[in-house]
Chains A and B, each alone.
Chain A
Amino acid sequence: MAEDKRLMKGNEAIGESAIRAGCRAYFGYPITPQNELTAYMAKNMLDKKRTFIQAESEVSAINMVYGAAATGARAMTSSSSPGVSLKQEGISYACGADLPCVVVNVARSGPGLGGISPSQGDYFQATRGGGHGDYYHLVLAPKSVQEAADLTYLAFDLSEKWRMPVMILADGLIGQMMEGVSLPPPRDLGSLPKKPWAVGHQADSHRPINHVTSINLVPEELEAQNRKRFERYGEIKKAEIRFEEVNVDKADLIFVAYGTSSRVCLGALEMAKKEGIQLGLFRPISLWPFPEKRVAELAAKGKKFLAVEMSMGQMVEDVRLAANGKTDVHFYGRCGGVIPSEEEVLAEAYRLLGRKVGK
């Protein structure tokens, strides 16, 4: 039974949702704008006698996750962009060792130390396997506090189902703002799926020994392992595509945007509607796998796309790949921590449609 709504910050909702999903171990390091999440986990994980460690670095935090996940426990870490860069080594190892875990990126602006304001400049890093080697992992992008909670809860299940890290790609706005949220029901830790591949408790079953590792020095064997993993990626591309559409059938121009920038586009869409103009919104929720088939279908219908991002243009490349030359794909972006306004996004849409604002 769903609980009453409560008002929560995105960062706290992610934390509470992770705990309810059965997260047994959380490892984090301070970085703005995700600090509420680490503090929430400190208080609430310790209260529940679960593991919380403030690690000495993001590098250590992801490797603690690696160790905890190797025992089959649900484990999570969170950070913001510069910290997530540091975690990429560990994410690559977790992908190579087929370990489930949840990594939250409450993204800020970059490159380098950049700023602490919201940004979507980590799309490439998140969706292309940000570390070394041939791999991908699921990436889910929430647009609201509610969705941040829901996707975090889902992320634990998906990570175990597909044996890979799942990244929640939020941004400073989603993490910091407060909204009403209905939280998912708490999971009984004992009811979570067993992990026959995990280390520990060999004495219970006298099973053969387990190794959790990404190493394989035999080229043909490693190639076979990678190919097998890519077959799984193919299955994921069929099963785990998530997106939301608003008014795409009537519209001639469709915004393509995720997370915070999709909220801005929705506002622009509503403004246009009042003026009798039909605009659409296509919002990828799974950034990897990207909903390429649906984008291709819309492109084939001759819909014009305007990708709107808080970056210099990253997701737009996936839109162009999916559209494959079938339609015009335009881009409008702000970066450095600037959130585009509904008015400027609408003005760009009108410009592309050959309309003047307010006419």
Chain B
Amino acid sequence: MELAYGHPKSLKPIQSKYCPGCGHGVIHRLICEVVDELGLQERSVVTNPVGCSIWADLYFDFDSVGPAHGRTPAAATGIKRMLPDHLVICYQGDGDLAAIGTAEIIHAANRGEKFTTVFVNNAIYGMTGGQMAPTTLVGQKATTAPYGRDPIEAGMGYPIQVCELLATLGGTKYLARGSVNNAANIRKTKQYIKKAFEAQMRGEGFTMVEVLSPCPTNWQMAPVEAMTWLEEHMIPFYKLGEIKNTLEAASPQAEEAKR
């Protein structure tokens, strides 16, 4: 009998250290499903960011590199340039990508580095215990924004919409934003990841999938409540969908050619 659904081969069959209700596990699984579907398990390298997902090398059953905080896109650049026929997955959180590593992501994207960034946006610093992230929403509380993120009086700035920020750069070919809040969005997110990985293997340019993900522990909510909060607060601000798609396969000429 054909197996309709099972555990991805490239995801180790072990229990994760992630908190109940965390989105990392689902996102890891989606990545591994796509890696398996593309038959790339032995040709994949993931860079693990500093943050909760530093654990990713325990779970992904393929090679990994652990760079310094925020330097993930620089290290992924070095890896992909040396291994152009490999799938290089640059896994990053919001602190890693949009705060300490802002220069690295902008320039890697602008150079059109041919790896794929999977950007997990949970609007908070997880591993260090709930500090304000660059993507923390206005009014959202954090240990370092005890009265809520206040862009005006406290001068805490505004949440950064990373896909939109990177969309102006010539090197970016595919920027999509998904979410793991329900089955439909999880499936869509997987399709974004697959498109991005396929584009990477065609060598098209910089690809990124941002994934909105809950952090019940640091949001101080029950898992179900966190999902609702994500839907009611994050999705209205961080619009889901393909923010930029200039892939060859998606160009009008390519579409025309298909007919």
| Chain A residues engaging chain B, CB cutoff 8 angstroms | 24-25, 27, 51, 53, 55-57, 59-61, 63-73, 75, 89-90, 93, 97, 199-203, 206, 209-215
Contact = CB atoms under 8 A, between A and B. Distances in A.
Contacts of A213: 48, 57, 64-66
B64 A212 contact: yes
B75 A63 contact: yes
Given A200-B63, A209-B62, 10 more contacts: A25-B82, A53-B77, A59-B103, A64-B78, A64-B81, A67-B82, A68-B78, A70-B79, A200-B86, A202-B42
16 contacts: A27-B78, A59-B71, A60-B103, A67-B82, A68-B78, A68-B79, A69-B78, A70-B78, A89-B71, A97-B66, A200-B63, A202-B63, A210-B64, A211-B66, A213-B64, A215-B54
A24 B107 contact: no
B78 A203 contact: no
B9 interface: no
B134 to A, nearest CB: 18
Contact of A65 (B57, B66, B78, B104): B78
A202 B87 CA distance: 12
B74 A67 contact: yes
Interface in B38-87: 42-43, 45, 47-48, 54, 57, 61-68, 71, 74-83, 86
A66 B76 CA distance: 9
B140 to A, nearest CB: 29
B68 A71 contact: no
Given A199-B64, A202-B42, A213-B65, A25 B81 contact: yes
Given A93-B68, A200-B79, A60 B104 contact: yes
Contacts, number: 126
Contact of B64 (A63, A64, A201, A211): A211
B111 interface: yes
Nearest to A214: B66
A60 B74 CA distance: 5
Max count, chain A CB within 10 A of own CB: residue among B43, B45, B61, B86: B45
Interface of B: 42-43, 45, 47-48, 54, 57, 61-68, 71, 74-83, 86, 103-104, 106-107, 111
A53 B64 contact: no
Nearest to A24: B82
Q: What 6 pairs across the A-B complex have the smallest Cβ distances?
A: A67-B78, A213-B66, A67-B75, A68-B78, A63-B74, A63-B71
A70 B107 CA distance: 21
Contact of A200 (B68, B74, B83): B83
Max count, chain B CB within 10 A of own CB: residue among A65, A199, A215: A199
Given A90-B68, A200-B86, A75 B63 contact: no
Nearest to B63: A199
Nearest to B104: A60
B3 to A, nearest CB: 23
Contact of B103 (A27, A56, A75, A90): A56
Max count, chain A CB within 10 A of own CB: residue among B43, B45, B78, B103: B78
Contacts of A27: 78
Contacts of A72: 82
Nearest to B103: A56
A67 B47 contact: yes
Contacts of A199: 45, 63-65, 79, 83
Contact of B82 (A68, A212, A215): A68
A206 B42 contact: yes
Contacts of A93: 67-68
A70 B62 contact: no
